[in-house]
Chain A
Amino acid sequence: MNETNQIITFKINDLDVSAAAGQTILDVAREHGIGIPTLCFLKGLTPIGACRLCLVEIKGQSKLLPACVTRAAEGMEVITHSPRLQEYRKTIIELLFAERNHVCAVCVSNNHCELQDKARALGVTHIRVPYRYPRLQVDASHMRFSADHNRCILCARCVRVCDEIEGAHTWDVMGRGIDCRVITDMNQPWGSSDTCTSCGKCVHVCPTGTLTEKGVAAAEMKKRGQFLPYLTAMRGTKS
Chain B
Amino acid sequence: MAKTVVIDPITRIEGHSKISIFLDDRDQVADAHFHVTQFRGFEKFTEGRPFQEMPAITARICGICPVSHLMASSKACDDLMAVKIPPTAVKLRRLMNLAQLTQSHALSFFHLSSPDFLLGFDSDPAQRHVLGVAAKFPEIAKDGIWLRKYGQQVIEWLGGKRVHPAWTVPGGVNAPLSDEVRARILEGIPRGIDIARRTLDFFKGAQGQFKDEIEYFANFPSLFLGLVSPEGHLEHYDGYLRVVDSDRKIIADKLEPTAYHHHIGEASLGDSYLKSPYFKPFGYPGGMYRVGPLARLNCCDRCGTPLADKELADFRALRKEGAVLSSFYYHHARLVEILFALERMAELCSAPDILNTHVRAVANPNKFEGVGVSEAPRGTLFHHYKINEQGLITWANLIVATGNNNLAMNKGIAQAAKHFVDGANVKEGALNRVEAVIRCYDPCLSCSTHALGQMPIKLAIVNANGDTVREISR
Q: Report yes or no: B169 in contact with A140, Cβ–Cβ below 8 A.
A: no
Chain B, 26-84, CB within 8 A of any chain A CB: 48-50, 52-53, 55-57, 60
- Interface range on chain A (Cβ under 8 Å from partner): 10 to 19
| Contact present for B50 and A106 (CB under 8 Å) | no
Contact A140 B50 (CB under 8 A): yes
For residue B164, CB closer than 8 A to chain A, the reply is yes
Contact B391–A140 (Cβ < 8 Å):
yes
Tell me whether A80 is interfacial, beta carbon within 8 Å.
Answer: no
Contacts of B364 in A (CB 8 A): 214-215
A220→B169 CA distance, assembly (Å): 10
Q: Which of B52, B170, B363 has the most CB of A within 10 A?
A: B52
| CB <8 Å contact, A108 and B53 | yes
Q: Does B272 contact A (CB under 8 A)?
A: no
**Contact, CB under 8 Å: A217 / B391:** no
Interface residues on B, range: 20 to 34
Residue of A nearest to B389 (CB): A141
Asked if B362 lies at the interface with its beta carbon under 8 angstroms from chain A, I say yes
A105 touches B170 (CB 8 A): no
Residues of chain B contacted by A219 (CB below 8 angstroms)? 56, 166
A216 within 8 A of B: yes
User: Are A218 and B50 in contact, with the CB atoms below 8 A?
Assistant: no
| Cβ of B390 under 8 Å from chain A | yes
A6 contacts B by Cβ under 8 Å: no
Task: Write out the residue numbers on chain A whose beta carbons fall within 8 Å of the beta carbon of B391.
Answer: 140, 214
Q: Could you tell me the distance in whole angstroms from the C-beta of A188 to the nearest C-beta in chain B?
A: 14
Report the Cα distance A218→B49, complex, angstroms.
12
Closest B residue by C-beta to A216:
B52
Tell me if A137 and B48 are in contact (CB < 8 A). yes
**Which residue from B170, B390, B392 sits with its C-beta under 8 Å from A217?**
B170
Contacts of A220 in B (CB 8 A): 166, 169, 174
Bound together, the chains give a CA A55 to CA B473 distance in angstroms of 53
CA distance A106 to B390 in the complex (A): 19
Q: Which residue of B lies closest to A142 (CB)?
A: B390
- Which chain A residues border B392 with CB–CB below 8 Å? 138, 140
Task: Say whether A146 contacts B50, CB under 8 Å.
Answer: yes
Chain A residues lying within 8 Å of B169, measured Cβ to Cβ, are 217, 220
Interfacial chain A residues near B363, Cβ < 8 Å: 215
Taking the closest CB of chain B, its distance from the CB of A196, in whole angstroms, is 16
How far does the Cβ of A38 sit from chain B's closest Cβ, in whole Å?
28
Which of B49, B50, B55, B60 is A105 in contact with, Cβ under 8 Å? B60
What's the nearest-Cβ distance from chain A to residue B466, in Å? 39
Across-interface contacts of A218 in B (CB, < 8 A): 53, 55-56, 166
Complex CA–CA separation, A218 to B58 (angstroms): 12
With both chains docked as a complex, state the minimum distance between the C-beta of A145 and any C-beta of chain B, in angstroms. 11
Contacting pair B48 A217 (CB below 8 A): no
Contacts of A105 in B (CB 8 A): 56, 60, 164
Contacting A138 at CB < 8 Å: which of B49, B164, B174?
B49
Contact B56 A217 (CB under 8 A): yes
Complex CA distance for A67 and B170, rounded to whole angstroms? 43
Q: Are B166 and A217 in contact (CB under 8 A)?
A: yes
The answer, among A106, A138, A191, A214, for a CB contact under 8 Å with B48, is A138
Produce 1/0 per residue, A209-226, CB < 8 A to B. Answer: 000001111111000000
Residue of A nearest to B57 (CB): A106
B373-393 interface (Cβ within 8 A of A): 390-392
Contact B53 A217 (CB under 8 A): yes
Query: Across the interface, which residues of A come within 8 angstroms of B362, CB to CB?
Result: 215
Complex alpha-carbon distance, A55 and B434, angstroms: 63
12 contacts between A and B (CB under 8 A): A105-B56, A105-B164, A138-B50, A138-B390, A138-B392, A140-B50, A140-B391, A214-B50, A215-B363, A217-B174, A220-B166, A220-B169
Further pairs besides A105-B56, A148-B50: 20, Cβ < 8 Å: A105-B60, A106-B56, A106-B57, A108-B52, A138-B48, A138-B392, A139-B390, A140-B50, A140-B392, A141-B390, A146-B50, A214-B391, A215-B52, A217-B56, A217-B166, A217-B170, A217-B174, A219-B56, A220-B166, A220-B169
